[in-house]
């Protein structure tokens, strides 16, 4: 992702709002870049993006253990 900028996003229930333009966001679990056109998983409550369902589940399990 050379010459790409990280976007700032507000995560909503069924969509997201771009607050600062960019081409990707970083997964909050893995740190991997996620192109905005491939972004499918996020937490509205934690305002975090996830690269895939496994990363989303891992984060959810972490918060359940704290709980």
5-58 pLDDT, tens digit each:
999 999 999 999 999 999 999 999 999 999 999 999 999 999 999 999 999 999
Question: In the predicted model, is pLDDT for residue 3 greater than 80?
Answer: no
The predicted structure's pLDDT at residue 2? 56
The predicted structure's pLDDT at residue 66? 81
Helices assigned H by DSSP within the chain: 53-66
Q: For the full predicted model, state whether its pTM sits above 0.85.
A: yes
Phi, psi (deg, nearest 5) at residue 13: -60, -50
The predicted structure's pLDDT at residue 54? 97
Q: Which of 40, 52, 45, 47 is nearest to 19 (CA)?
A: 47
Question: For the CA atoms of 19, 41, 23, 30, what is the dihedral angle to 10 degrees?
Answer: 110
Q: What is the DSSP letter of 49?
A: E
């Amino acid at each position: 992702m050379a010459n790409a900028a990280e976007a700032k996003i507000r995560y909503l229930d069924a969509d997201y709002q771009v607050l600062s333009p960019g081409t990707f966001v970083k997964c909050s679990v893995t740190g991997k870049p996620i192109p905005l056109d491939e972004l499918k998983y996020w937490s509205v409550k934690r305002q975090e993006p996830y690269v895939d369902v496994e990363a989303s589940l891992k984060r959810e399990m972490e918060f359940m253990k704290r709980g």
